[in-house]
Chains A and B, each alone.
Chain A
């Protein structure tokens, strides 16, 4: 049995600063700067006016001229959601989460830990979350999600399979990234419940809607891909407050500094980085977040800089602070051996070992270099900082 924990309108609540703000009238998350001009999560009052997540901004404003648009806060949301996931993992759940506000886990292994029943697991989850949540359960992830949207009491709502899903609205498909665009088209065609969708011939659905249609058809029939729980990881991150709002070259230097500091962290223990999250607090208010998956696990600051610097161009405004977090760590870096004896390579190797030894003995500050952060600044102390030596563990 899969359990789904749903915190409704999580992103909107975090961005608005609390659930109380949502009671003041129709509210929606504004589009992120530079992204598609569609609204994000919407409040209940906005939903009552026919506005739904993913609706074009113009259409949403036409339906509710007094719609309050809240600037998105992707960094705040990611931090808050990470705390929620950590609490779920603290009760033993192997959690999968495709988006903030929705987390699923397999309850089978947890039953013995928490009284042997689903209710015991639900109670443990509620106790750990310390925040109101809707909890549903079902044989698949989608059934559990549908059940969670139905849940109103303290006990979990259960949808046992395709029969239980039949009366649910197709709007539920908006909660899955792969099928989020389908409900509007389905509703126009008069297909309003998942039962109606499940009854359609599979080939006809594939013909009309392509792969997204096939996924929706599977979901409506109670079939879903198996859970892929995340590996509870360590949090490795470095933040730099930029005293002068930064953009361009200054931002690139700040990024270089963050990379050096992240790679010099002792907790990394020589491991590579598979994915990193670059985020910023913007001068104009709001935050920006970009996830970067490297083509291969990296521990080379130069290659990381190449991969990450291009993302800085996507920043919609100057930044007040920049943060780099290692999202997933890979195996320890194993530098390949040179084909020919190369004295430079040998010297670099010896230097790297020496730096590694010095750091192991005296901490990450044992080998530093001077990095020119803003060499043209008129204020002397803003020109250069000491940063971990980049030829270190790697």
Chain B
């Protein structure tokens, strides 16, 4: 995408503590009380910049519904909302 266009839902870096199986326990200082869903995305595996993400939709203790993912290539965590 060229600089003039602005994407929506661009992932932002997040501080996530993960437990067994990569399950998020804490997102940006908010404790996770429930995991609603988890899914895996693998794309562009045929290119030099493959995209591999493990997504988690979680509910935090203050009632927020968040979508976070772990970039399985770089190992870092991001959140969409």
Contact = CB atoms under 8 A, between A and B. Distances in A.
Contacts, number: 48
B20 interface: no
Interface in B30-49: 41, 43-44
A333 to B, nearest CB: 22
Interface string A360-394: 00000000101000000011111111110000000
Contacts of A261: 4-5
Q: Which 9 A-B pairs have the closest CB atoms?
A: A386-B6, A380-B9, A384-B8, A385-B5, A381-B9, A381-B7, A381-B10, A378-B41, A385-B7
Binding site secondary structure of chain B = loop
Nearest to A384: B8
Interface stretch (A238-246, A270-278, A348-356): A238-246
Contacts of B64: none
Interface residues of B, number: 17
A379 B7 contact: no
A262 B30 CA distance: 44
Interface of A: 238-241, 243-244, 257, 261, 368, 370, 378-387
Given A378-B43, A379-B51, A241 B6 contact: no
A241 B1 contact: yes
A383 B2 contact: no
A240 B5 contact: yes
A235 B41 CA distance: 40
A261 B67 CA distance: 31
B81 to A, nearest CB: 9
B50 interface: no
Contacts of A385: 1, 5-8
